[in-house]
Amino acid sequence: MRNKQFTINLSHNNGHIVRIGLLALASLMAISCNNDDDGDDRLGNWVDRSIFDGTPRSNSAAFTINNIGYMGTGYDGDDYLKDFWAYDMDGNFWIQLSDFPGVERSAASSFAIGNRGYMGTGFDGDNELADFYEYNPQNNTWAPISDFGGGVRRSAIGFNSESTGYVGTGFDGDNDKKDFWEYDPNADTWTELIGFGGSKRRDGTAFSIGNTVYIGTGISNGVFADDFWAFNTNNETWTELDPIDAEDDYEIARSGASGFALNGRGYIAGGNLGAGASTTVWEYDPSSDSWEQKTSIEKTSRENPISFYNDSRAFLALGRSGTLYLDDNFEFFPFQEEDEDD
């Protein structure tokens, strides 16, 4: 929900009042909130889980296989990275695995098909990239696959069906993109899809509910994209849904957010709203094509975090807030009341 408008000049950044035009109301300067969230009755509880063992970072790539979240690459404010890690949801611990075999990078794309993970593209500090690799968790090994069919790019969206992977949108070093490509692991080939009528974008968000992938947010032509799309992985068709900021009290459009799904609902968390990193979280109900704001991320606002999720659990981790790079990790319970002590 948007902040209430006053007749005086207010400017806000992540819920913090940063300028007040009338000294007569100077007492308002004491108002400060770490969450850009003024609702006390929203549901959603964030529970601290094991802090990431490696270097704090943002713009990593992640995928989930069963109850294990896998994460690698990223940027720590000084260096581009290629280390690769697993988070055990049941045991609540991290373990370092074999390094990602490509060059160090951030803003890569990733997805999982069956019991294999896939990661590629991204930015190495000088160039956008197109190389892609397959990870086998059974023996902790990587193998190169065909380069991404759409050419070099960073900040693209990746997702999967039961048998194929998909990568699309992003930035190729000169232009934002809107193409989507399908990867067939049996043939090791990329095929361009047709039918997406949405905006070009980078730093968009996707989450999967059943056989449908929902895609939105990101930067398009220098402004936040507010179109929202559903992709049916069974017949590979696109459907345009209501814009994400169709209502006056919605403030969902953003870039660099994390998307995940849980119990038949989708979530968009964190990201950049234009004035800095955010803590806000929105829940999407596909049965009504509607949004509801949930309890904000506890503690630090963030953009470019990662998420791990399966049918029953969802986690949000890492990211950055300004020049602060993060290594925290939370599990989200969307229908619990907030408990700041857990």
- At residue 85, the 3 state secondary structure works out as strand
Phi, psi (5° rounding) for residue 335? -115, 10
- The pTM (predicted TM-score) of the whole model is 0.87
Residue 203's nearest CA partner among 107, 336, 137, 91 is 107
Are the CB atoms for 146 and 132 separated by under 8 Å? yes
Structure tokens at 94: 């991290």
User: Does 2.120.10.80 match the CATH number of domain 45-333?
Assistant: yes
The letter for the amino acid at 7 is T
Q: What is the mean pLDDT of residues 173-181?
A: 97
* pLDDT digits 0-9 by tens, 259-302: 999 999 999 999 999 989 999 999 999 999 999 999 999 889 99
Q: In the chain, pLDDT over 70 holds for what percent of residues?
A: 87
> Domain limits of the chain?
1-32, 45-333
The confidence score (pLDDT) of residue 4 equals 32
Are the CB atoms for 298 and 316 separated by under 8 Å? no
* pLDDT digits 0-9 by tens, 1-15: 333 332 223 333 333
Separation in Å, CA 171 to CA 163, 178, 221: 26, 9, 11
Strand 314-317 relative to strand 329-333, pairing: antiparallel
- At residue 303, the 3 state secondary structure works out as strand
d(CA 109, CA 290): 28
